[in-house]
Amino acid sequence: MRQPEQLDLAAASRLLSWLGCGVDPELLVLALTHRSYAHEAGGIPENERLEFLGDSVVGLIVTEYLYRTHPSLPEGELAKMRAASVSQRALAKVARTIDLGSFVLLGKGEKTTGGANKDSILSDTLEALLGAAYLCNGLEETRRAVLKVMGPTLATAAVLGAALDPKTSLQELVASRGMGTIEYRSQTNGPDHARVFEAEVLVGSEVFGVGSGSSKKLAEANAAEAAYRQLSAIADNATD
């Protein structure tokens, strides 16, 4: 395993401050070690086992939170909210709030192809980090960490009407109001190994949301979420 003293202590301190709990230095390095790095380093341990653990820990904490926070919702709606909250896209979005990609140990190939900004790598690393936090601190401390970093995501799950993705929520909202058709327009910027996609969503002929991301799908989802929020705000103001 990479020696813990090689980890940037200032960077580690910032990461753990965001998380709100301590993690053993060796486990922290392990949580940040992607399989591409492990392979190039001669087959050292990588973070997939911690990811497996973290996935279950996050699932339990999020499920309990939604159950207690929404006592009147049926099981089906709670399941949809949980799926939205712990989806790859949602976890990657949380990871980007602390620029987690800059901490991940990646192989040269993954670095070249923009691995530090891939949803799959970011979400997996976040789960591994939370798995490490669980091993070091137990369930109660980890629950506080998960709810701290995922608070905005859990709130969004409710705002989006328990839909599995923002595009579905937007479609349902626009249809319920008879506002016309939805159109997505996208473009790319940057070199092949670090492309950024930008999208805008039009309802009728008016742009209601813009978004960006490492893929067309992510950019459109972010644009749809922005449009949903804007249209919901317009409706709320109209009823005041």
Catalytic residues: 55, 127
- Secondary structure (3-state) at 219: helix
Calpha distance 138→201 (Å, rounded): 43
Angle at 69 between CA 60 and CA 127, to 5 degrees: 30
Residue 210 region, left (φ>0) first, then alpha (ψ -120 to 50), else beta? beta
For residues 120 and 88, the answer to whether their CB atoms sit within 8 Å is yes
Question: What are the Cα distances from residue 39, in Å, to 1, 42, 66, 150, 165?
Answer: 12, 5, 39, 31, 34
